[in-house]
């Protein structure tokens, strides 16, 4: 799984601007158990972020303000208003997005 911030890829990779609950060794190319494609969102100060090939079935908790989720993966994504995938979920089928100002604190991919 790769994390990107289009304007400052080096900063996003080198810095710890985004901390998700992802197992060690999940970086790299897509493998079985991943939601192939891109998941994008807007972070603090309107900065765009996206993740490539997120893991299927794992709750990813955002470490900072996140809103406007866009599911560009091949699997459904479910965004949650609270950390650890709690609260009333919003399901995003592949290719769909939430309203730009809709905040979320965690996300899970695949059918649950």
pLDDT digits (tens, 9 = 90+) for 54-67: 999 999 999 999 99
- CB neighbour list of residue 67: distance below 8 Å, 6 or more residues apart: 41, 42, 98, 100, 101, 102, 103, 104
Low-confidence residues in the chain, pLDDT < 70: 1-32, 112
Count of beta carbons in the 10 Å neighbourhood of residue 84? 11
Chain mean pLDDT for the chain:
79
* pLDDT given at position 21: 36
């Amino acid at each position: 799984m790769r994390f990107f911030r289009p304007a400052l890829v080096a900063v996003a990779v080198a810095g710890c601007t985004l901390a998700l609950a992802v197992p060690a060794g999940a970086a790299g190319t897509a493998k079985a158990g991943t939601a192939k494609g891109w998941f994008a969102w807007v972070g603090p100060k309107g900065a765009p972020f996206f993740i490539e090939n997120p893991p299927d079935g794992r709750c990813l908790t955002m470490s900072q303000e996140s809103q406007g989720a866009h599911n560009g993966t091949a699997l459904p994504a479910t965004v949650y208003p609270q950390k650890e995938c709690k609260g009333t979920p919003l399901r995003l089928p592949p290719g769909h997005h939430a309203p730009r100002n809709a905040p979320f604190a965690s996300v899970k991919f695949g059918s649950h």
